[in-house]
Amino acid sequence: MAMNNSYIYKIYPSIGIARVGTSEEFYLGPETSAGMPLTWPEAVPATSEDIFRDQNGDMRRQAARFKIYRYKEGCEHEAEEVTLNTPGVHKIEWTVHVANKKSSWYEYQTNPGELPYSPNHPLRNPSIIEAEVRQKTLITDPGKRQISGRSQHGQQYTFSKAGAADQYCSFPPENIKPFTIETLGECQTDDHGRLLVVAGYGRSGSSSPSGPMIKQYANNDSWWDDTADGPIHATITLQEDESTPIYADSAWVISGVPSYAPQIENMVTLYDTMYDTSICRMGADERIFKDNLWQSGPEGYYPDFNTEIRPILERGEKYPWVAAIPPKPHRFDYSRLGNPDKTYNGLRQYILDVMRAPESVNEIVTSENGATLMPYLCGDGSINSQQYMANFLTVTGTQYFFLKQWAQGYFTNLPDKATRHPGEVLTKAVLDNCVGGAFCPGIEMTWVSRIPQIYSEPFRIKAQKDYSVPLSLGLNYDAGMQPGDITRYMAIPWQADFNECSSQPVGKRYMWWWPAQRPEFAYLPDASITDPVEMQLKGKQVAWVGIDFDQSAGNYIAFSDDLEMVNHWMQLGFIYNANLGKSQDGKPLPPLFVEVQRTLPRANADDTTING
């Protein structure tokens, strides 16, 4: 007993991401930053574009895979995975409870709510007043599922009415259109007894008697979708003491929007945002931020070029593949920029000066020399005209601090030899593949990710221990989060925001929303070009959805009606590195991204020629 108790067990990733698809088949979510999804059941990174669709051309769903790691206090870097194959392990039992509370929550209005909502903040579906009715009709709750053993799957593990058996459950009305919702996905185990949570089918529907209509980007009454979130618990029993289960720290699963460009990261990832929250508001690393002071200057924190600076630049370098952004200024000379010699301070300062400072959320060019500030992306408040709202995205405070130290030469550029907790590496990779801003509302999660009270420790959401059903309509930070509490802020249905949030007029400019997650432009494949620079000079760049020739048109890089996204999201193309696995003279070819696996015909693409 004493020996067992000296271990700390936790589930990783602490937040896992599943994504909707229309196929019964699925793949595992990428387990590296900007990596390809993993094939199922082999669980190896895919090396072909075939991963995205099944043989019928249906979009595969994404499963989130959860593992358990244990370590002894103070020896986190020696953490080891615990599976049914680990000697001495008798049983691992998982409990999953996801729900969708979107229709029962407040309307999404950019930032209100990050501070408490005002008393006149409208609820969604306000015509349904009685609390119990709201709980039973506006919350989709399939109930808890328990699963243990190897390679388990089946109807009893689906997040459907059938899977609920005799538990309490609630589902949207059966007559909603255009799609009914019968399940929020399912759970399975792999041959080691690890947990997989597979997302639903991306079905959204409205109960409106006049038929499905979408009136705005985030708040549409009478609508439901099948995204969800909720806690993952696990107990481990060891052979030496089968009567005493060991509880692992819980994790959370979010099942959301497909990842159409998995190999392209966002400028600010969800990891960056949560990391910033942990640094600035949870005291996670006093080498960086202590007593409310950034540890700057020559005596302060030295960020690592390869892990803390270079990724920011590399993300910028990839954006021109998914938006109409000039590629040339986004190509960087990493050998010079990674050189801490003071004579390069001017060069590094040049880059820093075009990065928008976190307090300059409404500045588009520098007041010193008129350079356009980066990132050229929307901020939380782009859709509002108020000046106090953030019109443009900035890197996080922590990212900007790292860049400032770097510009002044206070950084290191050494081979990375650190041993890290593999579970924490996994969590970072998973969250690096999600959007960390702008939040309006976002893709996987919104600004709740910036509220420290939702966490039990950095990156780990505090799950409420005991709760009754039907699930609560409210929010209690002290008690912890319930199923559905993390994603209920998001757009209902998700397809509305996903369609509209392509580009956004802000003043005279049209800013991009989340090109790395919701592509705006794509290059058509051209087998004759393997050089990315040549592709970006001579390739064929087209709108991912809609038209590209009139920025002010309703269907500029979007469907003209959000309802079309509800019907066609599963036919859109994926942005894929066509040079993946290719090499020349023994060196891997640099990445070159093109659109693949699109099943939706592209208007005017190949049927007519203009001016001969």
Partner 1 sequence: MLATATPKHSAAGEGLVYSRLAFAQKPTLLKAIQTAIQVELSTIPAYYTALLSMKDTASDAYRLTRSVLMEEMFHVYQACGLLISIGGKPILTGDAVPTYPGYLPGFEHSAMPYIALRRASVEVFSDVFMVIEKPGVDGPPLEGEGFETIGQFYSAIAQGINDFVKYTYDENIKQWVELSPEEQLKAEAELFKQDPEMTQWQDFYFGKFGGKYVKVTNLTSAAAAINEIVKQGEGAIAPNEIQSIMPFEKYGVYNHYGERVDGTFGPILGTTIELSHYYSFQKIAQGKVPFPPTYAITSEPDINAYLNVNAKKLAQAFNVFYSTLMRSLQQSFCSGEDNNNLFFKVAITIMHSIVPVLGSSIMQLPTRENGDSSVGPNAAPTFEYVPELFSRGIELIQEVVGALPPSRSGAPLKEVLEGILASASHIEALCDQQSI
Where does this chain bind partner 1 (CB under 8 A)?
A: 324-329, 333, 336, 342-347, 349-350, 353, 364-372, 508-510, 521, 523-524, 536-542, 549-553, 609-611
Nearer to partner 1 by Cβ, of 393 and 542: the residue is 542
- Which residue type does 332 have? F
End-to-end CA distance of the chain: 81
Nearer to partner 1 by Cβ, of 326 and 415: the residue is 326
Nearer to partner 1 by Cβ, of 187 and 511: the residue is 511
Lookup: tokens for 570: 């599963």
> Closest separation between CB of residue 503 and partner 1, Å?
8
Q: How do strand 204-206 and strand 26-28 relate by DSSP bridges?
A: unpaired
Listing DSSP states for 341-407 in one string gives -GGGHHHHHHHHHTBPPTT-TT-SB-TTT-PBPB--BB-TTTT---TTS--B----HHHHHHHHHHH
SS3 28: strand
Nearer to partner 1 by Cβ, of 80 and 333: the residue is 333
Nearer to partner 1 by Cβ, of 88 and 601: the residue is 601
What percentage of the chain's residues is helix, strand, coil (to nearest 5)? 20, 25, 55
> Closest separation between CB of residue 294 and partner 1, Å?
19
Q: How do strand 61-72 and strand 26-28 relate by DSSP bridges?
A: parallel
Please state at what angle helix 422-432 crosses helix 270-281, rounded to 10 degrees. 120
Nearer to partner 1 by Cβ, of 451 and 524: the residue is 524
Sign of the CA dihedral with 123 first, then 129, 132, and 133 last: negative
Burial 117-134 (b: 16+ CB within 10 A, else e): beeeeebbbeebeeeeeb
> Closest separation between CB of residue 315 and partner 1, Å?
17
> Closest separation between CB of residue 462 and partner 1, Å?
43
> Closest separation between CB of residue 335 and partner 1, Å?
10
Distance CA 266, CA 432 (A): 8
Nearer to partner 1 by Cβ, of 243 and 609: the residue is 609
> Closest separation between CB of residue 363 and partner 1, Å?
8
Residues in CB range of 44: below 8 A, 6 or more apart: 38
Nearer to partner 1 by Cβ, of 335 and 583: the residue is 335
> Closest separation between CB of residue 594 and partner 1, Å?
13
Give the residue ranges of DSSP H helices in 114-215. 131-138, 161-164
Of 570, 545, 515, the C-alpha closest to 54 is 570
> Closest separation between CB of residue 176 and partner 1, Å?
38
> Closest separation between CB of residue 345 and partner 1, Å?
5
Nearer to partner 1 by Cβ, of 74 and 326: the residue is 326
Angle CA 189–191–194, to nearest 5: 45
Distance CA 162, CA 150 (A): 22
